[in-house]
Structure formats: structure tokens, C-alpha cells
């Protein structure tokens, strides 16, 4: 089954069709890559799928259910969580509080019982240990290095109670040892049966992680399929070389 589907999705930003008549589907329990030159509409697609902006035309379905009039605050109720291009954390909050906030997403505005609070704290510690961030748990997130903050952001989004995870260039600017860690986290996420959409420029990472890849060029879908054959198609090479 498709976790996410778009049909004829179109979004204009000023005169530009940032996303142009896009029809694609993300198989459930897979990692789907989205690639394309700068400005090809990848982040705009993610914004549409997460309710940050509204399409001009077309439809989005989440697990077969139409995504209608959704706003970013309600997207969690569809089981969708996302990261942004660049790091967005609560820098004044501690590392562990950033995770706790994600864990308690659904109950955040209700007061938590003592017992739930304790369980969440245990779980947050476990998550930070698995990501190799346990030593920074009580430091403000703003004091971590760029790579650690990026890792924390990914860890935080994976901690959210969501079964569809949208990631906008999570590997950008990371050192090889953190790339290995993030790759392992994403493989684990897939093994847990969750669905991942990965916007990424690094084709080696796409080949290693993705089951399916879609290629955008100026808002349009120009190719899609398993990475091996898709990335060697002439139109895909041309879009990249022409970039
Ligand atoms: N806030 C904005 N104001 C003006 N134009 C925008 C804005 N956001 C996106 N665009 C335009 O929409 C198109 C798609 O941009 P988008 O950011 O989705 O591309 P992208 O594939 O994510 O690029 P990148 O690889 O650089 O992140 C581009 O032509 C871009 O210039
Ligand atoms: Mg982008």
C-alpha cells in the first residue's frame, strides 16, 4: 500500500511552478528518495505534504485518506513528521528536552501524569544513547556542534509518534562518521515498518538507502523507480549535468 500519494499536484510560487503536475507515490515501509537540481521543487513538495503550504491544484492522500485543509499543527494526526532544510531545534532547551517534546507531542498540551513523565524520560535517555548523544543530554541544544545538532534533529523527528517521516537533506554538511550513524537510524526506521521520504543530493547515499527514487526537474517528475536503473537514465544525467 502507498503511505503517501500525490495526484497532479501543482504549486505556483509567484510566476514559477515550483511543483508542476506531480503524481507519485511512496510505498509504505520503504525509503523513497527525492532528488533533483537546486530549485527543482523538492522542499516545496515537502512543504505541501506537511501542510506548510497549500497546493493550487491536485490531491494528496495519506494512507488512502485525503489530506484536506491541513495545517502544520494538525499534520501529526495524520502520522507525519518532518525535518527542515537546515537545523531547527529549540536551542535554549536541553538536548533531552528537545527529545521529550517530540515524544510527548500528542499529550503536550495536557498535563502528563508523574508516571508517564518518568517513562518518557527513560525513553528519551534510551534514544539519546542510541544516537550517541547521551553525554550531551543536559546541555542546551544550541551548544552542540553542527553535526550533533543535525543528528539531534533527526533523532527528534524519529522519536515522534509518526509512521511517515519526511526528511529535507538530513545529510547535508555532515562528517562521514555522522553520515554512517544517520544511515543506520534510517535503516532501523525502515526495519520498524515506517515510511521515509528522503530529499538528498548525495547519489551514493540514495543508492545505498533508497528502495525507490523520484527525480524532479523544474517541478516536474522526470524519472522514478529503483535507484540503480533510474540514476543511469540519460534524462536524469542531463538534468544533473545541466545544473
Ligand atoms: N519563498 C520563496 N520565494 C520565492 N521563490 C521561492 C520560494 N521558495 C521556493 N521558491 C522557488 O520555487 C522553486 C522550487 O524551490 P524549492 O526550494 O522547492 O527547490 P529545492 O529542490 O528544494 O532546491 P534546493 O535543492 O536548493 O533545496 C524555485 O524556483 C525557487 O526559487
Ligand atoms: Mg530544498
Give the mutation target among 44, 86, 203, 206 for probing the ligand 1 site: most ligand atoms within 8 A of CB: 44
41 CA distance to ligand 1 centroid (A)?
6
Task: Give the pLDDT score at 224.
Answer: 97
Of 20, 33, 36, 40, best ligand 1 pocket probe by most atoms within 8 Å of the beta carbon = 40
| Ligand of minimum distance to the alpha carbon of 18 | 1
Q: List the grid coordinates of 157.
A: 523527528
pLDDT of residue 228: 94
Sign of CA dihedral 235, 236, 238, 242: positive
Q: Which residues surround ligand 1 with Cβ inside 6 Å?
A: 13-14, 16, 18, 36, 38-44, 85
Residue 107 has pLDDT above 90, yes or no: no
Ligand showing the shortest atom-to-Cα distance for residue 84: 2
Mean pLDDT of the chain, nearest integer: 90
Contacts of 114 (CB under 8 A, 6+ apart): none
pLDDT in tens, 153-206: 999 999 888 999 999 999 999 999 999 999 999 999 999 999 999 999 999 999
Share of the chain above pLDDT 70, in %: 94
**Distances from the Cα of 135 to the Cα of 42, 94, 95, 180, angstroms:** 35, 12, 10, 19
* Cα distance between residue 127 and residue 173, in whole Å: 23
Residues with CB under 5 A from ligand 2 (ion): 42-43, 85
Instruction: Please check the confidence at residue 237 and state whether its pLDDT lies above 60.
Output: yes
pLDDT score at 104: 76
- 190 vs 70, residue with greater confidence: 190
Percentage of the chain with pLDDT > 90? 74
As a whole number, mean pLDDT of residues 199-222 equals 96
Q: Rounded CA gap, 221 and 105, in Å? A: 34
* pLDDT bracket for residue 108 (50, 70, 90): very low
Query: Which of these, 73, 63, 77, 91, lies nearest to 5 by C-alpha position?
Result: 63
pLDDT tens for each residue of 109-121: 455 566 677 888 8
Cell numbers at 91, concatenated? 536551542
Whether the predicted pLDDT of 23 surpasses 70 = yes
Separation between Cα atoms, residue 224 and residue 216, nearest integer Å: 9
All structural domains of the chain: 2-79+162-241 (3.40.50.300), 90-147 (no CATH)
**119 three-class SS:** helix
Q: How far is the CA of 63 from the centre of ligand 2 (A)?
A: 25
pLDDT confidence bin for 96, thresholds 50/70/90: very high
Torsion (CA) 218, 167, 183, 185 in degrees, nearest 10: -160
Alpha carbon of 25 to ligand 2 centroid (Å): 19
What's the Cα-to-Cα distance from 17 to each of 25, 44, 108, 197, rounded to whole Å? 20, 10, 37, 22
Q: How far is 57 from 12, CA to CA, in rounded Å?
A: 9
The whole-model pTM stands at: 0.91
**Residue 212, helix vs strand vs coil:** strand
Task: Sheet containing 80-82: give its strands across.
Answer: 80-82, 164-168, 195-199, 31-35, 212-217, 220-225
What mean pLDDT comes out for the span 224-231?
A: 96
Check whether 128 has a pLDDT greater than 70. yes
Amino acid at each position: 500500500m502507498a503511505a503517501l500519494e500525490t495526484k497532479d499536484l501543482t504549486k505556483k510560487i509567484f510566476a514559477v511552478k515550483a511543483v508542476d503536475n506531480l503524481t507519485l507515490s511512496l510505498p509504505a515501509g520503504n525509503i523513497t528518495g527525492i532528488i533533483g537540481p537546486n530549485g527543482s521543487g523538492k522542499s516545496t513538495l515537502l512543504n505541501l505534504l506537511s501542510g506548510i503550504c497549500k497546493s493550487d491544484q491536485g490531491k494528496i492522500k495519506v494512507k488512502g485518506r485525503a489530506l484536506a485543509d491541513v495545517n502544520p499543527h494538525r499534520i501529526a494526526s495524520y502520522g507525519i513528521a518532518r525535518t527542515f532544510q537546515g537545523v531547527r531545534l529549540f536551542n535554549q532547551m536541553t538536548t533531552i528536552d528537545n527529545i521529550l517534546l517530540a515524544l510527548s507531542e500528542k499529550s503536550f498540551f495536557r498535563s502528563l501524569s508523574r508516571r508517564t513523565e518518568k517513562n518518557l524520560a527513560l525513553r528519551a535517555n534510551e534514544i539519546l544513547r542510541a544516537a550517541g548523544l547521551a553525554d550531551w543530554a543536559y546541555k542546551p541544544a544550541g551548544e552542540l556542534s553542527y553535526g550533533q545538532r543535525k543528528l539531534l534533529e533527526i533523532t527528534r523527528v524519529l522519536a515522534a509518534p509518526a509512521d511517515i517521516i519526511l526528511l529535507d537533506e538530513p545529510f547535508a554538511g555532515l562528517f562521514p562518521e555522522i553520515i554512517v550513524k544517520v544511515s543506520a537510524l534510517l535503516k532501523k526506521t525502515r526495519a520498524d515498518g515506517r515510511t521515509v521520504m528522503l530529499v538528498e543530493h548525495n547519489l551514493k547515499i540514495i543508492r545505498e538507502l533508497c528502495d525507490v527514487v523520484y527525480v524532479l526537474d523544474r517541478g516536474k517528475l522526470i524519472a522514478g523507480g529503483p535507484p540503480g536503473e533510474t540514476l543511469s537514465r540519460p534524462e536524469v544525467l542531463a538534468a544533473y549535468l545541466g545544473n
